[in-house]
Amino acid sequence: MQEVEGIEFRHMLNGEHDINNAFVNINSGAGGTEAQDWTEMLLRMYLRWAEKKSFKTEIIEILTGDEAGIKNVTFSVVGDYSYGYLKAEVGIHRLVRISPFDAGKRRHTSFASIFVYPDIEDEIVIEIDESDLRIDTYRASGAGGQHVNKTDSAVRITHLPTGIVAQCQNERSQHKNKDMAMKVLKARLYEHEQKEQAKKMEKLHSDKKQISWGSQIRSYIMQPYRMVKDHRTNKETGNVEAVLGGDIDGFIKEYLISQ
């Protein structure tokens, strides 16, 4: 029965790049440490989801918070249909809970945004003029051993015409970091082109919901009651722990059906 459901699930993933691997970017919203902790919780949720599906993940770039949590992070997910699944997660995710960082034990609302890009295969050509690129190298920060901190192995690539930036500091060699940053840049340029096309069609899609801090796609409520609710499909569950532990396929499936 589970195998049949899996086949039906994949029948919904018929977009041009749904079968591709994915790059996921999580950004913390306003709220300082509280929002950054929420970003780290979301990262853990997606990594556990990927692990349950036997997908491989790799953190490409991460900026940790000053006190705790993560300001933003980009990671790759390698596995069939990972982009098709994860495109359902694009948008604003809202957390309501008693803050562990508030001595007064007050309830706080935190936001984080999720963006997902397909990993464009080599046969899909994204034209990049070398003269349009600015490539900077810098010393990697954070964990990674003494080698990482002694050499300018980290690479940041800026696409000058669009201002799009991709960077990688995870690999030990500058060459490998540059290769990974170029892959991320290609994916983001592809997404940029898709958005430019979408703007031209905007008048035909007046009901399209804009991604903004006031239009979250999903709320995770931990106080005064416990519930996760997807505002696009109205699917909800009271098992917040399971969802934060990576059990999000139900929400993904409902969204894909609704599309």
Nearby residues of 229 by Cβ (< 8 Å), 6 or more positions away: 218, 219, 221, 235, 236
Instruction: Say yes or no: 153 and 232 in one domain.
Output: no
Instruction: Say yes or no: 186 and 143 in one domain.
Output: yes
Whether the CB-CB separation of 25 and 56 falls below 8 Å is answered with no
Q: Give me the pLDDT at residue 147, please.
A: 46
What is the residue range of 151's domain? 130-200
Q: Give me the pLDDT at residue 118, please.
A: 87
Q: Give me the pLDDT at residue 30, please.
A: 78
Does 24 fall in a domain? yes
Whether the CB-CB separation of 132 and 164 falls below 8 Å is answered with no
Whether the CB-CB separation of 96 and 221 falls below 8 Å is answered with yes
DSSP per-residue string spanning 49-77 = HHHHTT-EEEEEEEEE-SSSSEEEEEEEE
Mean pLDDT per 10-residue section of the chain, whose length is 259 residues: 62 84 92 90 98 96 89 96 94 90 79 90 69 87 50 87 90 87 89 73 43 77 94 96 96 90
Does 243 fall in a domain? yes
Q: Give me the pLDDT at residue 28, please.
A: 92
β-pairing, 91-98 with 218-221? parallel
Q: How far apart (Å, rounded) are the C-alpha atoms in residues 218 and 113?
A: 11
Side-by-side strand order, sheet with 133-138: 133-138, 154-159, 164-168
Q: Name 78's bridge partners.
A: 56
Instruction: Say yes or no: 45 and 142 in one domain.
Output: no
DSSP per-residue string spanning 8-28 = HHHHT--STTTTS-EEEEEEE
Q: Give me the pLDDT at residue 214, please.
A: 66
Does 124 fall in a domain? no
Token pair for 81: 């249909």
Instruction: Say yes or no: 225 and 98 in one domain.
Output: yes
- Count of helix runs (H) and strand runs (E) in the chain: 7, 11
Does 84 fall in a domain? yes
Domain count, the chain: 2
The predicted model scores a pTM of 0.71
Token pair for 178: 């540059």
Q: Give me the pLDDT at residue 205, please.
A: 37
Instruction: Say yes or no: 73 and 171 in one domain.
Output: no
